[in-house]
Amino acid sequence: MGLLFIFISSFLITTISPSYGYDPLDPHANITITWDLMIDNGDTYDVKVSLLNFQLFRHIEQPGWKLSWTWKGDEAIWGIWGAEAIQQGNCSRIKGPVLPHCCEKQPVIVDLMPGARYNKQVANCCKGGVLTSMTQDHSMYVAALRMNVNKASGNNTSDGFMPVNFNLGLPGYTCGDPFQVPPSKFKEDGSRRWTQVLDTWNVTCIYSQFRASPTPKCCVSLSAFYNNTIVPCPQCSCNCQELAGAKCVKSAKALPMLELPHANEEEPQPLVRCSKHMCPIRVHWHVKQSYREYWRVKITITNLNFVKNYSKWNLVVLHPNFRNVTQVFSFNYHPLSPYGNINDTGMFWGIPYYNEMLLQSGPSGNVQTEMLLQKDPGTFTFREGWTFPRRISFNGDECVMPPPDEYPRLPNSGHSATVRPLIILLLLLLLVVVL
């Protein structure tokens, strides 16, 4: 019964769950671009553009965002602070002793690196394109830039200055159309006065794991103290080793000479350790110990990718006992309650300067935690795989779980208890037939 229930519920979870944009663990997740028209100078105007990562656990890591849009007319960016356009483009239409910063119809803007020249900085800029999630670091989830733009020639200011076709330049994200919102306001004079900008537009960008990559990037293996079987990641979770074109490496020694990517270059394709599951990330959940009132879980995250260090990684886990998390060792932990007071989801991430960076495949390519949970007498059980997670995601991408009927089983429980009388009955029948 219980197994069937777990099977049905995990089936429901996986079928309801998001392949297209919507994540039930973070239903309002979005990155918002705000476009604040600060000053209209006549033939030019000043804009402040901000990127706000309103996602609970998904973050943007190296090589970072690459913001682009399409101007409606022949606008040009004369000056920009806190970021830069990667191409100046064709400025031959501008006559004068100085040329604009960028004349492209579709400028592509990247963040400046930390420590940029002081006169090129603005508040919240210069993070190398990296944005943390809202939960993980409240100081690093916003990016901002400021620019001075030449108005388009012709007579076309009726529908505003607003460009279209915004894009974050990140796999999996798509942005909607800009919409006008009430102008942003800022406090001044120790909050005694509010100033406001001339006009504000928002653009909302949404992530879809499916659009980012149709194949998973992470899988889960399970074990428990009461059974010495280790249930591995399902075969072909991320790719099949036997498949033509599947690339993997047996050990670091066999690694071909690699050109490591520089900042602001495309992220390299994962080069994984050969395995039956071929995932770059494996999460192992071990039910380690049972005490009278508590039980202990060990979680190990292993990086099997030879070409990537995961910085500011995070793990989101769904388990019904998370409302009774008592202690978490070596990781940061924060409960997430996307649906009010149901505390069954939590987020783990590394401790700065200790295990915030999950190093590339090799002897130090793993991070681990142990966690104490209080047994709730009403619901706690070692039976039917109840102590295993219902759902795990790494860096916001869902991990492939083994099928529930393969979970490590308590000796002499569940199945065997109901199956044994049946087998005896069959044997009896056989005996009767034979005799």
Ligand X SMILES: *[C@@H]1O[C@H](CO)[C@@H](O)[C@H](O)[C@H]1NC(C)=O
- Binding residues for ligand X (CB under 6 A): 28, 30, 32, 34, 50, 52, 54, 72-73, 90, 92-93, 152, 154-156, 159, 181, 202, 204, 227, 229, 260, 307-309, 323-325, 335, 337, 343, 359-360, 374, 376, 406-409, 411
Q: Which is nearer to ligand X, 180 or 429 (CB)?
A: 180
Q: Measured between alpha carbons, how far apart are the two ends of the chain, in Å?
A: 35
Q: Which is nearer to ligand X, 192 or 262 (CB)?
A: 262
Tell me how far, at minimum, the Cβ of 434 lies from ligand X, in Å. Answer: 29
Sheet holding 314-318, edge to edge: 332-336, 345-349, 314-318, 391-394, 397-398
Q: Which is nearer to ligand X, 238 or 287 (CB)?
A: 287
Q: CB-based contacts of 50: which residues, under 8 Å, 6+ apart?
A: 33, 34, 36, 124, 142, 143, 144
Tell me how far, at minimum, the Cβ of 15 lies from ligand X, in Å. Answer: 24
Tell me how far, at minimum, the Cβ of 274 lies from ligand X, in Å. Answer: 18
Tell me how far, at minimum, the Cβ of 418 lies from ligand X, in Å. Answer: 14
DSSP state of 233: P
Tell me how far, at minimum, the Cβ of 71 lies from ligand X, in Å. Answer: 10
Q: Which is nearer to ligand X, 90 or 195 (CB)?
A: 90
Q: Which is nearer to ligand X, 189 or 259 (CB)?
A: 259
Tell me how far, at minimum, the Cβ of 64 lies from ligand X, in Å. Answer: 15
- From the list 243, 201, 202, the residue with the least C-alpha distance to 54 is 202
Q: CB-based contacts of 78: which residues, under 8 Å, 6+ apart?
A: 44, 100, 101, 147, 148, 149, 150
Distance CA 418, CA 135 (A): 46
- From the list 296, 400, 287, 395, the residue with the least C-alpha distance to 348 is 395
Strands 391-394 and 397-398, how do they pair? antiparallel
Q: Which is nearer to ligand X, 92 or 191 (CB)?
A: 92
- From the list 392, 238, 387, 227, the residue with the least C-alpha distance to 300 is 392
Distance CA 201, CA 179 (A): 5
Tell me how far, at minimum, the Cβ of 431 lies from ligand X, in Å. Answer: 26
Q: Which is nearer to ligand X, 10 or 243 (CB)?
A: 10
